[in-house]
Structure 1
């Protein structure tokens, strides 16, 4: 069975008649489940022997699919990097493996996943003549009944996962760009599944990266143009392109090369760097551009503007409207961090950090000379802010609201290191979470924050409250309890924060205090339950801090909160690697809001307060 295929397009269709799915870079695969499972490629070749982890998972869960057999599902076999991106290089390596031992090793240490987006047969009944909307509803019901993931998740051990549809192209596109995914497939609501057809009822949009480069040669046998960039005085080849050129553009470009050639042989016509073009491509694979397309001539550029350094920067897929000024400016000394390093950190951490900044009044601390000179607070949005920066007026201040990647990177280019947010969104009537800020008197007293956090966690677990913990990035810890929006007041949460503060003091009065005056604290950790209030702010998860160690307000797994914990483990230079390898400890934070059992706890405290 040969799969139905999408058509490449650059125009977004009308949203009413279409649904949108994330596109993943992998191997198209059709799963046939009957007496024995079969997984076949786009060319109808068997795949299960190369991907035994999928076969093992199907065998372990065959009872879940039993009532739906014979069953045929359409999907993509991927090495999932995040919820919206698959790693092309990894799946290519797996596909070429022939050593059974190495295949088994990879299957255990780095399993691939089968992402399903369509259902072609269920209980032996063909579904291909049903409309896409009907097929998708049937597929979702199947996944729910079989207890399979309803969305891609690289940490979920269940290897068969659903690709969900979105009604809004822009909503999904924002996630694709944020997570550096491959693109989107738009599917017409009433389309039928047509075997082996490349259909205009399925449209694919690619998340292109762009590079300014110059032409170095023309290949006579196939008409390809070779592109390069400068690294110092040397020309670095970055690939070749053909697609995207109109016939008249191709002819004109060929004629210019022919008229200005520096050398020619039986295969190539060579030319000095002079003709600058902009090329779009998906990613770099084996030192070459994948799927390069001509985008436009750049007659405004000189060849020396096409550099390898800019090429590397553009691979980070920074939004084109963001211009990074003074990229080599030093911001931290130890570890040594330049401005471009910091911008790349923000770009990589954005999918995890932005959800906490969205819809909140933002206060930043800017460091115009890095940590080497005095910083300043900024609340008001400056007049020179670009149009994509959203704002909200509150008490006479026009606050920035960091709702998108462009704003975050623009703020980074303005050398905003610290991002402080209130405990509520601009649409909330009350707190969106409870936060305990455990701030010891000094860095040397960090053990007190650890002790307090462990004691608080014991109470929260007994109350069945779901909590999260992070470092402050300076010298303390912060514990979060997500709350359902517009449900509680700050007076409500004050009852709880005061209760916890009093509990800590009763457990260990020599370590904790609620004494406001520093001189009276006697080296104890101050439990500031009053700080959790309207108008107060706290450092956002994943924000850098303006200290010499370049530490980050890093989300933690609760098991990490022990005597071995140190602040210096979480720096700008190593945090991305940590998230990529260990995952995001706050990944379920927002889902928790809906089932946080805080109301019974609050009702009990109110009753006790009345008695009191």
Structure 2
């Protein structure tokens, strides 16, 4: 048995279970056409799990062994008989007669006719697409023909990597984005865009040596692409797969997201896939009248949703433990829109997207140059990347619904606004030019926060030991931990009251609390940072056994961490009324101080209960910016 990829690579070593399962079929000489897939917990093919298996080297395997299956869908040669010229129906009859399905060897199911219903099923499952084949068609290796059509649900394509930009911040040791291209009919590599989203830390580390091994001094593209960053060129042979939202008028990908490497396709074969205009994806039929379970609604448009936003995959499960869907997320933001929008207005938004729900990979997105016309944006200089970003402003219900459609579970906003300072604010002057340079940004209103922020996180663990896990070290929710956070918030409020300052509190939606002190827009982030640091370190001196400002996570154990470092230019927190990616689908809910003192349970505030609660409850933060306060009179 020999397993060969489309590009001719032998894959026996990577998939020994498929080799053994095919030997067990005890077939005569035969050539099968099929696909090896890695299955997730729900039994669906998962491209990146497959890439992990393909990239095993030197005996190192992926952290998790996925279920591998070979889906056979055609037979090209059998026991001395060439089957290529026989119609598909004949090949399927032979195929069904000689192959025995097993745990590893599986038969690709075929559905005669009913193509529209089959496509809708693919939509509901969230798979990449379907294949449509004429029953009387022969097998034509390597040819594109209208007798075989790929009809996509999600837009994916292969692209060739021709360069990369330097990484900054958490990516300082790897790269920021890769430059992508496809070959045209003349064999020239044409640039189609940058891609910086979708990379996990492990994938960044895995790809960086591959890029460094292919460094070149000359640009491989037919024309040097525009870039705000210096580009390092590479020999164009790495092929990747990306998911994207469409094409710009300039022929560039909209919002490309990395999905994995394609090791089975030669770079020179990568072309832009242009769909046949005669083939269009079928629209969903209208749903019959009558009640349906709220979390299982399958209509493209949600009742009361803005007409300008197209919604997809409403039934995709985003919270497996609760069964809540993407549709539930969108429905939540539509209902709480009147409460959340005042807290978002004129503030740059950083997206945190979860395309496959909270158990899938997430990524942050600060730059969105191709937002729809109804989305107001602001151009902001970023010193870390030495370029201008286009940040959305969530100033209307359409934008809020659009963010939810993008699987933006959390709404992260700046603590400052892009609007000019009014004379009535008596706060001095600051500009509204944010894109020219770092200095221009620091001289602007975006460096004039509306509040001082205190992030209160309890570091109380059952065994008083920091968890030995990768990534965030934050503790899971516990009643004991939240009670300690409440006590710390009340102690902090006492200090602020002695300074004649009022604060507003909300649940973080996770383990702790957020306390905001509204201020006049005359202070810079440097000044609010110094103020918050002074206050928290003073409180730490009063109660060293209860609270801490220590930056090392190990030194916080057993205490409540008072994080003053959120007071930075460009820093964000989950907004008031933002949903959080927790198993309970909790919400960051504004509270009154009286409510906080009544043993509230933050787990009770989630995307199902909060809309009902807010039908009869006023926003506890509705006066947040009504009376901004001065700091220098208090210290």
In the superposition, the TM-score normalised over structure 2's length comes to: 0.44
Higher helix share: 1
